[in-house]
């Protein structure tokens, strides 16, 4: 493979895994780190937490595309993805997955012993998620679990131990929030999933009921967020984050109706990016202010 071909393959891979959507999860990892440090973590910790997040997410997304390549080829919505469309070779995708996984393990080792010991569990979780739609309708919760690892992992990366309920509450927020929006996202594949035997909550209970399940999951995420606010005691700025998140969740659900999924992408991408950033700015800012 020439250097030009390799560069093109890397660029195609980054587009395929939507590297820019790391914005969904990275602020939660940084928030876990800031809460653990009660201020700004060291530059060393920030660098390796970022590397771990990028490595884990890149490995997970590329592996997901590898595992789902035949399913993607059969689905009109996904058949233009890089692997089924022939834009990316399976060999290169595997090499990229292995490289990203290696980056994750190196980053974990550079942080502390406990992060290294727990890193195989984290990586196995994000890789094995790719197969869950084949045997359980609760794959949305598994995806939530995968993303929820980030804030608790970042807390451990800073402190070297799990010595507070705060990161667990933050992880619960992420788990339920992620599961809720993944149920929404799966609604657009309702017909395809039913036809091919793939498992999802919409495929099992129908789109209308699935939307109510998504609302309940997001109500649970909000309850966990209130619990986090009460646990950390960070004052009015963190409270503003709680209120803003509630408003965004309500807005997200107002965009989607069982008979009209045309605004689903706006609900999925725009509001999700805002939620993670708002919580990082408000709770993280409050933690910095309390330190000062």
Location of structure tokens 């109500």: 219
Q: What confidence score (pLDDT) does residue 12 get?
A: 79
The 8-class DSSP code of residue 87 comes to S
The 3-class SS string of 216-263 reads HHHHHHHHHHHHHHHHHCCHHHHHHHHHHHHHHHHHHHHCCECCECCC
Residue 262 in this model has a pLDDT that exceeds 80 = no
DSSP run (H or E) holding 84: none
Q: What are 233-253's pLDDT values in tens digits? A: 999 999 999 999 999 999 888
Residue 37 in this model has a pLDDT that exceeds 90 = yes
3-291: CATH architecture? Orthogonal Bundle (1.10)
The pTM of this model reads 0.90
Higher-pLDDT residue of 5 and 252 is 252
């Amino acid at each position: 493979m020439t250097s030009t071909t390799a560069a093109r393959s890397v660029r195609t891979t980054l587009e395929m895994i939507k590297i820019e959507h790391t914005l969904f999860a990275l602020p939660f990892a940084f928030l876990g780190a800031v809460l653990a440090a009660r201020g700004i973590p060291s530059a060393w910790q920030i660098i390796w937490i970022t590397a771990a997040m990028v490595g884990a997410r890149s490995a997970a997304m590329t592996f997901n595309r590898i595992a789902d390549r035949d399913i993607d080829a059969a689905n009109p919505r996904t058949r233009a993805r890089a692997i089924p469309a022939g834009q990316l070779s399976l060999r290169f995708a595997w090499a990229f997955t292995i490289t990203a996984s290696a980056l994750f393990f190196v980053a974990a080792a550079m942080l502390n012993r406990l992060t290294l010991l727990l890193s195989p569990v984290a990586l196995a979780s994000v890789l094995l998620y790719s197969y869950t739609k084949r045997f359980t309708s609760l794959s949305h919760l598994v995806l939530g679990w995968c993303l929820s690892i980030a804030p608790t992992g970042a807390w451990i990366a800073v402190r070297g131990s799990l010595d507070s309920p705060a990161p667990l509450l933050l992880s619960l927020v992420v788990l339920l929030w992620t599961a809720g929006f993944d149920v929404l996202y799966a609604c657009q594949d309702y017909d395809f999933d039913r036809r091919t035997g793939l498992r999802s909550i919409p495929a099992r209970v129908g789109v209308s009921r699935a939307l109510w399940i998504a609302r309940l999951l997001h109500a649970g995420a909000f309850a966990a967020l209130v619990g986090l606010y009460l646990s950390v005691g960070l004052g009015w700025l963190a409270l503003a984050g709680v209120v803003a998140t509630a408003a965004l969740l309500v807005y997200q659900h107002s965009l989607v109706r069982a008979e009209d999924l045309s605004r689903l992408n706006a609900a999925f991408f725009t509001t999700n990016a805002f939620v993670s950033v708002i919580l990082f700015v408000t709770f993280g800012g409050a933690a910095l202010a309390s330190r000062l």
